[in-house]
Chain A
Amino acid sequence: MNKARQIGVLREALASLDPFGETGRHGVFTLGAGPVDAALGGGLARGAVHEIYPAQVFDIAAAAGFVTGLSLRAAPHAPLIWIRHRRSEIEAGTLYAQGFAEMGAASDQLVVVHVDDVADGLRASLEALRCPGLGAVIFESWGTSKHLDLTASRRLSLAAQESGATGLVLRVMSEPEPSAAATRWRVETAPSSDPLGMPGRAAFSTRLLRQRSGPSGWRWNLEWNHETLGFAQTQALSGLVAAPHRDRPIGSPGDPGWAEAG
């Protein structure tokens, strides 16, 4: 047995021991945009937790659209549970099922749980993530909370891994904190690319803040295509802005600061 093979075997053994292993046993889902999926090493892990940070209060809708897209990529037309903090409802508006349907999602399959605080939201998310048969669980939290710490995110990850449902944590009004999430994104709205001079498809300016299994720091401008149920890369502003880091430190300098709104 040569060395390379030996290392390969050991790696596999390690991967099976690591509960937060990159691909896990539920496989990956692609975003539909070639270069993005390549940078993600094939796609995002199903049955794992991904964190999405809207850059500002005004970006909640964009981040929610991105999350909706991810949930459709992970499991199209599967039941979806969306846990929302009531504050989010006041600041960003109520989830509109007709608009949700227009994105290509099945509004009949959507269940929204309204919670009063992050602790309740976390409880609901754990309960939902433990349930097999769900496509994805979206947890929209508001602000920083001592309840949403590393331990909590580990629990979420374990629950997701157990059931195979993908956990998408939409963290509104919060700075990135240490967590067991497989990937972490920052999302802003982006000008839509429509040649007719009118507002076009859902467009996002995304930045991969961190991924457990590869380099991060990429920045992509993406658009949601409701027909293919996939993301497509738009040309403007795409590409690598900063040199990719391996396991970029949390809350890295250069991130735009946060201002508490209202």
Chain B
Amino acid sequence: MTDRLVRLAIQDGRKQGEHPLVVVARKGNILALVGADANARRQGLRPGLAFADAKARVPQLEVAEHDETADADLLERLADWCDRYSPLVAVEPPDGIVCDITGVSHLFGGEAGLVADMENRLRAQGFATRIAIAGTARAARALARFGRGGIVPVGAEAHSLAGLPVEALEAGEKTTTGLRRAGLTSIADLAARPRKPLAARFGDQMTAILAQILGEIDRPITPRRPLPDFVAEQRFADPIGLMDDIVFALTTLSQNLCKSLDRHGQGGRCFEAAFFRADGKVTRIELLSGQPLKEAGVLTRLLEMRLEALIDPLDPGFGFDMIRLSVLAGDDMAAIQSGLDGKAMASGEVRDLIDRLSARFGAGSVQRFVANDSHLPERAARAIPAISDESPSGVWRQMGPFGVPARPLFLFYPAPTIEVIAEVPHGPPRRFQWRRAWFDIVKAEGPERISPEWWRKTSDTRARDYFRIEDTAGRRFWVFRYGFYGIGTEPVRWYLHGVFP
């Protein structure tokens, strides 16, 4: 947390580093230190110390208040950045990040290379770190928090962590105090003892944590993001920033990704492009496709359109040093999309077009319609994203009786209220006012009564009486009366629900 403040200070161009920096927060009744920078630690100031004591020891202190949300936010962004090392990243509040690096270290020249790379990059961003690699996440965590970090050889957890204090268990203050009272001060003391009496005295949880620290059992970490099915990535020795370079990189990545998709007979439905900026910011762009996609050309084109359509254009800053393209969800290529009625819309070109339009304008803005089995007009036709493969539950209406349309071409939903002069109690409107204009009705037909769907829970409980009406100029409207005159206490209201051509 002091790193965040120092980074901020550097950003603002303020001078810093003259005095020890501490972060304070109120704990119960006293103001206590929750964070201290290296300078402060050298002078013996540790988190947990009362602020008054700290001030007595080191009079010249720079003090900042603890901001939990900002710290958590920064940690999240840092975890985002750590994605460059492994897709399996989890946040360990308040100040830790766990990566599962199984099978990825060779990409960085072994575990030592990975640690060095991570340390250098994080130091360049202004973070003090302690990195540990161990067989289990818990062991690595204990080593980083309470030890000196470093790499634990395979199976040597018990040996490497033996010297850590019992606090490294992080099993709560009560347990820790209890252990210390019993004369057990280090992990080694605990490891030597039979587990059963320990569990009986301090609880199962404590022994479970101990087993994890000793590398005996492992609990998988909960990744922050969905694991991609397929990944293609490219690192750049010199960060790239020009749009042409980015597009070129995306083209190469698309080709690689589509090659592996093709090998597995799969097509991607949900893609993600992640841009890792040299200064640690990560921008992710998601791309949905209506059909399983494995053509590199099409994918590149869609990505380009998606980039063009960004509200916040991709800001390369000092350039991206890595771009990763991954498939978050795929489908068998054999799976044929059932949507769009299966028949004429099956034309591949039209489906490609829908994908392109969805990429450009957002899947929610490109809609198709499905008939819904409902007699409420606003529910009888539903607009859904054109790329979804939902199937209809109802059928489309045929023309009404006498060969005249019974439903409008445009619907207002929610329907605006109108002021009406009508025959009471059941007659059609004679005149109505909408948008400050009056319409004189010369033709009318109705009512068509539509009752609420009582089997659904809604506040809409009254029947509607619909009228088709036409005014002197030939404008045809669809209006309804909500409630009845003379029945009930609620006032009768009129609504304009639609307009006929």
Contact with B along A97-114 (1 / 0, CB 8 A): 111111110111111111
Q: Are A199 and B498 in contact (CB under 8 A)?
A: no
Closest to A115 in B: B361
User: Contact check: which of B341, B344, B499 meets A92 at CB < 8 Å?
Assistant: B499
Looking at the assembled complex, report how far the CB atom of A140 sits from the nearest CB atom of chain B, in whole angstroms. 11
Which chain B residues lie closer than 8 Å to A123 at the CB level?
Answer: 360
Chain A residues with Cβ under 8 A from B406's Cβ? Answer: 102
Q: Looking at the complex, which of B110-118, B396-404, B481-489 is the stretch in contact with chain A?
A: B396-404
**Stretch of B216-224, B273-281, B347-355, B457-465 at the chain-chain interface:** B347-355
Contacts of A200 in B (CB 8 A): 404
Contact flags (1/0) for B345-381 with A, using CB distance below 8 Å? 1010110111011001100011111010000010011
Query: Which one of A38-46, A56-64, A174-182 is at the interface?
Result: A56-64
Any chain A CB within 8 A of the CB of B171? no
A198 with B501, Cβ < 8 A, contacts A108-B369, A124-B360, A128-B357 known: no
B340 at the interface (CB under 8 A from A): yes
Ordered by A's residue number, 13 sampled pairs between the chains whose C-beta atoms are within 8 Å are A79-B344, A79-B345, A92-B499, A98-B396, A102-B397, A114-B366, A124-B361, A128-B357, A196-B402, A201-B403, A202-B500, A203-B474, A225-B403
Closest to A130 in B: B353
Binds B, one of A1-9, A184-192, A210-218: A184-192
Q: Does B469 contact A112, Cβ atoms closer than 8 Å?
A: no
Which of A15-23, A131-139, A244-252 contacts its partner? Answer: A131-139
Within the complex, the shortest CB–CB distance from B382 to chain A, in Å, comes to 8
Expressed in whole angstroms, the minimum distance between the Cβ of B476 and any Cβ of chain A is: 5
| SS of B interface (majority) | mixed
When the two chains form the complex, which single residue of B354, B392, B412, B435 contacts A93, counting CB atoms closer than 8 Å?
A: B412
For B368, give its contact among A103, A110, A133 (CB under 8 Å).
A110
- Chain B CB within 8 A of A94 CB: yes
What's the dominant secondary structure at chain A's contact region?
mixed
A120 and B350 form a contact (CB under 8 A) = no
B366 adjacent to A98 (CB under 8 Å): no
Interchain CB contact under 8 A, B403 and A101: no
Complex contacts, A61 vs chain B, CB 8 Å: 408-410, 475-476, 499-501
Query: By the criterion CB–CB under 8 Å, are B369 and A97 in contact?
Result: yes
> Interface of B with A (CB < 8 Å)?
340-341, 344-345, 347, 349-350, 352-354, 356-357, 360-361, 365-369, 371, 377, 380-381, 383, 386, 392, 396-400, 402-413, 435, 437, 442-445, 468-470, 472-476, 498-501
Q: B501, A65: Cβ atoms under 8 Å?
A: yes
Q: Beyond A132-B349, A199-B445, A199-B500, is A97–B402 a contact (Cβ under 8 Å)?
A: no
Q: Which residues from chain B contact A111 at a C-beta distance below 8 Å?
A: 354, 357, 366-368, 386
Could you tell me if B353 and A128 are in contact, using CB atoms closer than 8 angstroms?
yes
Contacts of A58 in B (CB 8 A): 437, 473, 475
> B443 touching A96 by the CB < 8 A rule?
no
Complex contact B383–A112 (CB within 8 A): yes
**CB <8 Å contact, B409 and A108:** no
Which listed residue, B350, B398, B501, touches A131 by the CB 8 Å rule? B350
Using Cβ atoms and an 8 Å threshold, which residues of chain B touch A201? 403-405
Q: Given the known A-B contacts A79-B347, A109-B344, A198-B444, are A96 and B470 also in contact in the complex, defined by CB atoms under 8 Å?
A: no
The answer to whether B344 touches A78, judged by C-beta atoms less than 8 angstroms apart, is yes
Structural contact, A114 and B411, CB atoms closer than 8 A: no
Q: Are B371 and A107 in contact (CB under 8 A)?
A: yes
| Contact between A133 and B404, CB atoms less than 8 A apart | no
Q: How far is the CA of A120 from the CA of B399 in the complex (A)?
A: 35
Which residues from chain A contact B468 at a C-beta distance below 8 Å?
198-199
> Are B501 and A113 in contact (CB-based, < 8 A)?
no
Which of A93, A124, A199 has a CB less than 8 Å from the CB of B469?
Answer: A199
Which residues of chain A from 106 to 163 have any CB-CB distance to chain B below 8 Å in the complex? 106-115, 120, 123-124, 127-128, 131-134
Supplied contacts A65-B500, A108-B368, 4 more A-B pairs, CB within 8 Å: A92-B410, A98-B380, A99-B407, A101-B371
* Chain B residues, Cβ within 8 Å of A192: 404, 443, 470, 474, 476
**Can you list the 9 inter-chain pairs with the closest CB atoms, starting with the nearest?**
A65-B501, A93-B410, A97-B369, A101-B396, A198-B445, A191-B474, A97-B381, A96-B411, A202-B501
* With A96-B381, A199-B468, A203-B474: A227-B402 Cβ-Cβ less than 8 Å: no
Min distance, Cβ A61 to any Cβ of chain B, angstroms: 4
| Interchain CB contact under 8 A, B399 and A226 | yes
Complex interface: chain A residues within 8 A of B340 (CB): 108-109
Q: Indicate which residue in A94, A101, A124, A131 contacts B410 across the interface (CB closer than 8 Å).
A: A94
> In the assembly, what is the distance between CA of A62 and CA of B442, in Å?
18
A101 touches B443 (CB 8 A): no
Q: What string of 1s and 0s marks CB contacts (under 8 Å) between A59-75 and chain B?
A: 11110111010000000
Question: Given the complex of chains A and B, what is the CA–CA distance between A106 and B341 in angstroms?
Answer: 10
| A95 touches B (CB below 8 Å) | yes
Tell me if A204 counts as interface (CB < 8 A to partner B). Answer: yes
- The answer to whether A53 has its CB under 8 Å from any CB of chain B is no
Contacts of A132 in B (CB 8 A): 349
Contacts of B474 in A (CB 8 A): 188-192, 203, 205
CB distance from A117 to the nearest CB of B (A): 11
Whose C-beta in chain B lies nearest to the C-beta of A78?
A: B344
Q: Does A220 touch B at the CB level, under 8 Å?
A: no
Enumerate chain A residues within 8 angstroms of B472, measured Cβ to Cβ: 191
- Nearest chain-B residue to A262 (Cβ)? B435
Please, which residue of chain B has its CB at the minimum distance from the CB of A95? B410
A224–B501 touching, CB < 8 Å: yes
Residue of A nearest to B347 (CB): A133
Could you say which of B408, B412, B500 has the most chain A C-beta atoms within 10 Å of its C-beta?
Answer: B500
Greatest chain B CB density within 10 A among A134, A198, A201 is at: A198
Chain B residues whose CB sits within 8 angstroms of the CB of A109 once the complex forms? 340-341, 344-345
Q: Shortest Cβ distance from B477 into chain A, in angstroms? A: 9
- Determine if B500 and A134 form an interchain contact, defined as CB atoms under 8 angstroms apart: no
A113 touches B361 (CB 8 A): yes
- Are A101 and B345 interface neighbours, CB within 8 A? no
A226 to B405, CA, bound (A): 9
Nearest-CB distance from A259 to chain B (Å)? 11
Is the Cβ of B473 less than 8 Å from the Cβ of A99? no
**Would you call A199 and B476 a contact (CB within 8 A)?**
yes
Looking at B386, B397, B405, the one whose CB has the most chain A CB atoms below 10 A away is: B405
Chain A nearest CB: distance from B89 CB in Å?
Answer: 36
A199 with B470: CB separation less than 8 A = yes
A197 interface residue per 8 A CB criterion: yes
Q: Is the CB of B409 within 8 A of A68?
A: yes
**Separation of A200 and B406 alpha carbons in the complex (Å):** 10
Asked if B473 contacts A189 (CB within 8 A), the reply is yes
Point out the residues of chain B lying under 8 angstroms from A127, CB to CB. 353, 356-357, 360
The answer to whether B367 touches A100, judged by C-beta atoms less than 8 angstroms apart, is: no
**Nearest neighbor of B470 in chain A, beta-carbon distance:** A199
Q: Tell me, in angstroms, the Cα distance from A111 to B340 when the chains sit together.
A: 10
Question: With the chains together, A147 CA to B266 CA distance in Å?
Answer: 41
A77 interface residue per 8 A CB criterion: yes
Distance of A26 from chain B, by nearest CB (Å): 16
